[in-house]
Structure 1
Amino acid sequence: TRGYHWDKDSELHTFGEGILHSLVSERDLSGLDASADMYRFLTLLRKYGQHSSMPSLSHNVERLAPVLAFMEQNYASPDVGLSDMAIMMNVSARHLNTLFKQAFGVTSYAYLIVIRLRKAKEMMTEYPHLTVKEVSERVGFRDVSHFVATFRRAEGITPERFKLLYT
């Protein structure tokens, strides 16, 4: 049988018990509280629930914490690669990507690109005098055209247009 389970000391366990008690009490005549509770329960289930033998989302994020910190500190280096992160975690590159997909829905490299783009947007708004080429180099892109194409694909506008709109 397949199903979800969670640790008894997790927030999900106590919240689930609270929902059961409120359903029995019949105080929520409109059903709005029950609807909000159900949404909160599903959110907590996503975070703490474990499907079969799969670890919970919160467990995956905790396990990836060293790599996430490494990415935040080293996003500017174009030499940061999947193999570096896998070695740090003492797992294969393939397994690292599996952990990232379970936790965030994207590969580790895609996650690094998200960080780089976020940092680029921060730089462009804080330091509008920087050129797009300078920003791309400072956030770890080797090639400005790759940066522009990646930025456009993710944001729907070019970095130059972003600068015009937000500075």
Structure 2
Amino acid sequence: MTRTSQKIPQYKGAEHYHGRFPLFLNRYRENFMLPMHSHDYIEICYVAEGQGEQYIGEERIRVSRGDVFVIPIGTNHVFRPPSLQKQHSLEVYNCAFAPELFRPLDLRAYPVAASFLAETGEGRPWFRIKDSELLLIPLFDMLHEEFQQVLPGSEEVLLAGVIQLLAYLHRYRAAAGIGRSPHIPDSRMQAALQYVKNHFHEPLTVRAMASQCNMSGRHFHRIFKNTTGQTFTGYIQHLRVNKAGELLRHTSRTVQEIAAETGYQDAEFFTAVFKRIQGVTPSQYRKNAAQ
């Protein structure tokens, strides 16, 4: 996807804030109209429903419910749903705010918030966390409702809610053993990911990849999941299904031929995996793409 031919817009938070309170929240159904963009505020994005992709910087990342992205000021990104079909919708909570949100606080008493601000200034790397148990959904629901209602005391409730959100994100990172941005793997994991992307159609196992990285299988799987937000098997399945979708859209090969080309000798199993990820069978996917 080439993005150098056009200027990437930067959105201004002041256009969305309630008065002088530098925060806004929305729940947005992603589409193909919003361009790649950056903004002059910090954004915490939470995938509430569906699945799709996030283009961020020069990367393209598969996303699903429970994915949390922390987008620093000035970072280029955009979400995309799998298609315009209703059953393929991708809905994302966006909690966006300027660093000035915390100005009323003495940040010496809020070290987690202070650390977060230091990590999300312009030029800092983005990071991703997986809320596997969907524990943050009630908090995002509450923040979204509070922002829409604008009741007396809403600013205090929203500020407290954002601090609570930052505390949970800090805990998730600590529990995962992440001392730096989890999307930046070490050189061994970078090499492993590149190998998987080049050989996803071949039989691959955690054991073999762990040995290649000189790690135990358990340690490799933990680092792999922290880096990608997916299990090793899930990551490969998404790579295979993405390639299969491309072949279904652009070639006349049969479903069985595409299954074999993407690493599945059992066409029925391939169809089951494809439907679980895309929501439709390969044949229906091809039909929808042709409409």
- TM-score, normalised by the number of residues in structure 2: 0.42
Residue 144, structure 1, aligned to residue 267, structure 2: yes
Structure 1 contact 75–115 (Cα < 8 Å) conserved: yes
CA distance in 1 between counterparts of 2:260 and 2:244 reads 10
Greater RCO structure (CA 8 Å; 6+ sep): 1
Q: Residues 97 and 137 of structure 1: is their aligned pair in 2 closer, same or farther, counting only changes over 3 Å?
A: same
More strand by share: 2
Go from structure 1 to structure 2 and tell me whether the alpha carbon gap of 1:136 and 1:47 turns closer, same or farther (over 3 Å shift): same
Which residue does 1:155 correspond to in 2?
278
Pairing partner for 1:72 from 176, 197, 221: 197
Q: Is the 8 A contact 2:224 2:232 kept in 1?
A: yes
The 1-side partners of 2:258 and 2:249 are apart by 11
Structure 1 Cα separation of the partners of residues 222 and 174 of structure 2: 15
User: Is residue 122 of structure 1 aligned with residue 262 of structure 2?
Assistant: no
Q: Distance in 1 between matches of 2:230 and 2:275?
A: 18
**Does residue 1:30 correspond to 2:20, yes or no?**
yes
On the 8 A contact 1:97/1:107 being kept in 2, the answer is yes
Q: 2-side partners of 1:109 and 1:98: how far apart?
A: 13
Who is 1:166 aligned against? 289
The alpha-carbon deviation at position 164 of structure 1 amounts to: 0.8
Larger relative helix fraction: 1
Shift >4 Å, 4+ stretches: none
Alignment gaps of 5+ in structure 1? 1-28
Contact kept, 8 Å, 1:83 with 1:93, in 2: the verdict is yes
TM-score by length of 1: 0.69
Deviation at residue 100 of structure 1 after TM alignment: 2.0
User: Matches of 2:179 and 2:191 in 1, distance apart?
Assistant: 18
Equivalent residue, structure 2, for 1:82: 206
Percent identity over the alignment is 22
> Structure 1 61/143 Cα, relative in aligned 2: closer, same or farther at 3 Å?
farther
Q: Deviation at 1:61?
A: 6.8
2: CA distance between counterparts of 1:75 and 1:134?
16
With 40-49 and 138-147 compared, the bigger mean Cα shift is at 40-49
String of CA shifts for 1:21-48, please: whole Å, max 9, x gaps. xxxxxxxx6334x656242694345629
SS in structure 2 opposite 1:58?
Answer: coil
Distance change (3 Å), C-alpha of 1:42 and 1:120: closer
- Give the aligned residue type for 2:20: S
Q: What does 1:14-29 align with in structure 2 at a 5 Å threshold?
A: none
For 2:43, the aligned partner's letter is: Y
Aligned-residue CA RMSD in angstroms? 2.8
